[in-house]
Chains A and B, each alone.
Chain A
Amino acid sequence: MGFLDALLGRTKPVQANLDRLFGLPGAQITLEASEGLVPTREAGVCFKPSAGQAFDATEREISAMLADGEGASAVTAKLSEEADEFGYRWVVLRAADFDTLVTQVHFVNSTLQDHGFGPQLLCSVFGFVAASPPGSSTPGGPASTYLVYLYKRGSFYPFVPTGSERRDNETELRLKVVLGQDLTIEADLDRWFPLWRLPVH
């Protein structure tokens, strides 16, 4: 940012780096190998709707686009009807395999971005759960570990909630080390904000 921009109070919007999402398949392999965590193959894209007509149109577009996507690949996507307690909406995606899920999340993000809704995008969240021992049924249950992608920062951080508004910081810091090779981990720990009561399982 130039000196004149600073003087006049102009800031450039942060350039998101959505391509960093494609580091996730590699991170998934690392997570499974070293931590025994497998993806729940569910993800959420979180954004804040702005009031007004333009967004209504985009919202319809997203819904239609998501419906289209469902037919093409084995993906289900659902736009939350109501805003959550903080006034945010979620697109919750579920896919048969993790790679497809990542591609779809990228698609939703970039569509919103192309329509000029980048500033409204907050984060994307991917759920992980402990792999069930061989022989038992497919890994089920709600996610125990999340990887949060901060749209504005283009960085990831782990989030391990434990019960009511508590989180397992030790595990999170261990995951930071584990995932450091595969993902751009948010270096500023001050920004590892939790997301309580996630709609993503």
Chain B
Amino acid sequence: MATRTRFPADRGLTTRMLTTVFLLGLLYAVFVAVLVAVHVQIGLILVLALGILFVQYFFSDKIALYSMGGKLVTRQQQPVLYGVVDRLVALADMPHPQVAVAASDIPNAFATGRDQKHAVVCVTTGLLRRLDEPELEAVLAHELSHVAHRDVAVMTIASFLGILAGLMTRVFYFAGLFGEMGGGGRSRGGGNNNGGGQLVLIELGMVLVSAVIYAISFVLIRTLSRYRELAADRSGAILIGQPALLAQALVKVSGAISKIPTRDLRSAEHFNAFYFAPAIAPGASLSSLFATHPSLEKRLDQLAKLDAEMRQGAA
């Protein structure tokens, strides 16, 4: 989508994204090489991983909607929301996605579905209450960019290795346990004890390798996810032509304002009896490594840069 606009692509972002994908691929190759080297029967595990991938890929829209409690809405129920989506869809020249609303006070929006034809855009009631129409348009432009970039497909495929390695960690762990028991049985029957011990060692080694692979792919997938967010910010802002509007909406949904409730005090009475404090202080650097979304400052930085670029282009 970004390639069709008159704005130059963000080369740095594209390069970083490609590097991450390359590293994921490299990791995959190394893992397969290790599997082949130790003569592991990976058929069953592969089938399992592919099965999970298949389900994620084809039912992503339903899974995401279900887990967020989103309900599909009709044009009559949400005329304003449909109006905004209609405008954006016409602007971006893409098929109309299904529109859903989740009853939650937390301002949030997400897009899901494996391709443009199966896309669902979902917003929470908290978002609808906090943002005005232009800001809502900016957020939905970001979400529709995810649809146009086919981010669900990209991320599902990218996470395949993670699923595979995670599964192998578990399978080998249990296989190790059972292998030990099996080895004991054999020794009583007069079999070779050494072979059993070696097998256990190899299996333990595989658990370790799988766990390491899983950890690395976990970090890489999250890195990729953050780049996809930045890419969606960028093309969403370009689509509506006003990066500042998206920045404004971002501040509203992730800054201090997102904490101010929209639910009536009298209906939240029980809340006044208790005091909830977060147990962990936010803002640790480790959390930024594992975060699926880039930090607010990073996103605002990018949008400010884009805004400046667009102003220069117009002048």
Contacts and interface: CB of A to CB of B under 8 A. Distances in A.
Interface of A: 46, 48, 84, 86-88, 122-123, 148, 150, 152-153, 165-167, 169-170, 172-173, 189-196
Given A88-B266, A193-B263, 19 more contacts: A48-B269, A84-B266, A86-B264, A122-B265, A122-B272, A150-B272, A165-B129, A166-B129, A172-B260, A173-B257, A190-B276, A191-B261, A191-B271, A191-B272, A192-B261, A193-B261, A194-B264, A194-B265, A195-B264
A167, A173, A193: residue with the most chain B Cβ atoms closer than 10 Å: A193
A28 B72 CA distance: 47
Contact of B266 (A152, A167, A172, A195): A195
10 closest A-B pairs by CB: A193-B265, A86-B266, A189-B259, A169-B257, A192-B260, A152-B272, A189-B260, A193-B261, A195-B265, A88-B266
Contacts of A150: 272
B261 A169 contact: no
A166 B80 CA distance: 15
Interface of B: 129-130, 252, 256-257, 259-269, 271-273, 276
A14 B267 CA distance: 20
Identify the interface centre among A87, A166, A169: most chain B CB within 10 Å of its CB: A169
Q: Is the interface of B mostly helix, strand, loop or mixed?
A: helix
A194 B263 contact: yes
Contact of B265 (A148, A166, A189): A148
B129 A193 contact: no
Contacts of A165: 129, 262
Contacts of B269: 48, 122
B273 to A, nearest CB: 8
B253 to A, nearest CB: 11
Contacts of B267: 86
A43 to B, nearest CB: 16
A180 B216 CA distance: 47
Contacts of A84: 266
A164 to B, nearest CB: 10
Contact of B256 (A86, A167, A189, A191): A189
A86 B264 CA distance: 9
Nearest to A190: B259
A161 B285 CA distance: 38
B261 A170 contact: no
Nearest to A197: B264
A153 B265 contact: no
B113 to A, nearest CB: 30
Nearest to A11: B273
Nearest to A152: B272
A165 B267 CA distance: 14
Contacts of A169: 130, 252, 257, 260
A112 to B, nearest CB: 16
A46 B266 CA distance: 9
A145 B252 CA distance: 20
A196 B265 CA distance: 9
A84 B129 CA distance: 23
Nearest to A123: B265
B307 to A, nearest CB: 20
A153 B272 contact: yes
Nearest to B264: A196
Contacts of B259: 189-190
Nearest to A148: B265
